[in-house]
A = this chain, B = another copy of it.
Amino acid sequence: MKTMAMQAKTASIQMAEASSETKNKALQVLIDLLCRERETILEANRLDLAETKLTGPMLERLSLEGRLKGIIGDLKEVLELPDPIGETFEKKRLPNGLHLCKRRTPLGVLGVIYESRPNVTLDISALAIKSGNSVLLRGGAEALHTNRALASLLQRALLAAQLPIRAVQLVDSKDRAKVQELLRLHEEIDLIIPRGSAALQEFCREHSKIPVITGGIGICHLFVDETADLARALDVIANAKMQRPTVCNALDTLLVHKKIAAALIPRVIEKLGIAFRLDPEALRFASGPNCFPACEGDWDTEWLSLVLGVKVVADVHEAIIHIRRHSSGHSDGILTEEPAHRELFLRAVDSAALYVNASTRFTDGGQFGLGSEVAISTQKLHARGPMGLEALTSYKWIVQGDYHVRN
């Protein structure tokens, strides 16, 4: 691990100085290779799928079948984004005549620890290359065949652009101890991004000597205010819950203003036709074999499946209190026509992404125009929400003078 990390650090010096053209060339070759060797990749992925014991959402996340086209589309977007490196900003002239600015630089070496999703290998590597960083990828054991195939394409793309192949390295091992080793290498690695379960994130927080960005766990809420357009609200709720229930920005708990509970809740149940966990007040408007009383812990559960919690609240204030207590700080929204409620919600709820009259499903680097994302941060340091190119950069202060001395 230490050797790999040192190689990554050496590569990062060359990556930091690479021109935009060179970095884009690597991305273009990668896209070409992915199109050309599509079948090789899918075959490796089928091997993983055949060997795995995963089921449910984790299995769905492992499969690349039908997803390569979308991934390639994201890569093209990253290719077309402006290169953030070298950009100067916050220029000013100090009273003593010194010229001060910040110049954007790569972070250096990223360590990414993730579970089943092999698309992460491509998303993160593309963003790392474009932003002049090196990356060490520690994917899940269950995706090893796929990740090997992808890492090989990535290194061929780097080589074709005359960039150092050690800028993207796969930790090619199922050994869990490797992760622990990785987390100690603070002299080589600048940032750890764990993408996966709460247990993985807790493990990284506990053992890492390197700064860690946690996130990707979404206990997401929508509050339907009494002033919302109910017919349209229904579409937003259905979209937030059903469009892709296995992901972090899918809806977990619906909060309903008491004045519209009787009108809305039966229609939600009818339209969605999934399993519901309802508080006693909401249960009054619900019937059917798919409606259950909410249990202890339900409000703190990320469902990742076709289950929705429903709770009736007195007003926007009670909704805010519920969200503050139970949200994971990922994506929460309000559906309302009342500006005062909207403003109160936007001020008082402190999550990475706040929605007004829109589905929570938009919290995503691609949707936000970042091309792709390395993670969705739910902590407040460095980057919050979808992390795109800029989240992989730092800056240096540049001070230019005329032999200035301090008094």
- CB A302 to nearest CB in B, in angstroms, measures 17
Q: Which of A103-111, A150-158, A303-311 contacts B (4 or more CB under 8 A)?
A: A103-111
Inside 8 A of A396's CB, which chain B residues have their CB? Answer: 350-354, 384-385
Inside 8 A of A335's CB, which chain B residues have their CB? Answer: 403
Inside 8 A of A346's CB, which chain B residues have their CB? Answer: 103, 398
- CB A338 to nearest CB in B, in angstroms, measures 14
Q: Judge whether A72 is part of the interface by a CB distance below 8 angstroms.
A: no
Interface size on A, residues (CB 8 A): 68
Contact code string A368-383 (vs B, CB < 8 Å = 1, else 0): 1100000000011110
- CB A402 to nearest CB in B, in angstroms, measures 6
- CB A154 to nearest CB in B, in angstroms, measures 23
Inside 8 A of A186's CB, which chain B residues have their CB? Answer: 205
Q: Judge whether A79 is part of the interface by a CB distance below 8 angstroms.
A: no
- CB A164 to nearest CB in B, in angstroms, measures 16
Q: Residue of B at shortest CB range from A86?
A: B347
The answer to whether residues A404 and B351 also contact, given A186-B205, A380-B108, A395-B384 and a CB cut-off of 8 A, is no
Residue contact B367 to A16, C-beta cutoff 8 Å: no
Residue contact B379 to A211, C-beta cutoff 8 Å: yes
- CB A227 to nearest CB in B, in angstroms, measures 13
Q: Which of B239, B354, B382, B403 sits near A405, CB closer than 8 Å?
A: B239
| Centre residue among A233, A352, A406 by max chain B CB count within 10 A | A406
Residue contact B211 to A406, C-beta cutoff 8 Å: no
Residue contact A356 to B211, C-beta cutoff 8 Å: no
Residue contact A397 to B368, C-beta cutoff 8 Å: yes
Q: Judge whether A236 is part of the interface by a CB distance below 8 angstroms.
A: yes
Residue contact B108 to A399, C-beta cutoff 8 Å: no
Q: Judge whether A358 is part of the interface by a CB distance below 8 angstroms.
A: yes
Q: Residue of B at shortest CB range from A349?
A: B396
Residue contact A380 to B16, C-beta cutoff 8 Å: no
**In the bound complex, what is the Cα–Cα distance between A356 and B397 (angstroms)?**
11
- CB A370 to nearest CB in B, in angstroms, measures 11
The interface of chain A, by Cβ under 8 A from chain B, is: 16-17, 92, 94, 98, 100, 103, 105, 107-108, 186, 190-191, 205-206, 209, 211-212, 229, 232-233, 235-236, 238-240, 243, 333, 335, 346-348, 350-359, 361-363, 367-369, 379-382, 384-386, 394-406
A206-B209, A236-B404, A384-B397 given; 11 more Cβ-contact pairs under 8 Å: A16-B350, A98-B358, A98-B362, A190-B379, A240-B405, A335-B403, A352-B397, A356-B400, A362-B399, A367-B406, A382-B382
Name 26 interchain pairs, CB-CB below 8 A, sorted by A.
Answer: A105-B350, A107-B380, A107-B381, A233-B403, A236-B403, A239-B405, A239-B406, A243-B405, A333-B399, A335-B403, A346-B398, A350-B396, A353-B396, A354-B399, A355-B399, A355-B401, A357-B402, A357-B403, A358-B399, A358-B400, A358-B405, A361-B405, A362-B404, A362-B406, A381-B382, A384-B397
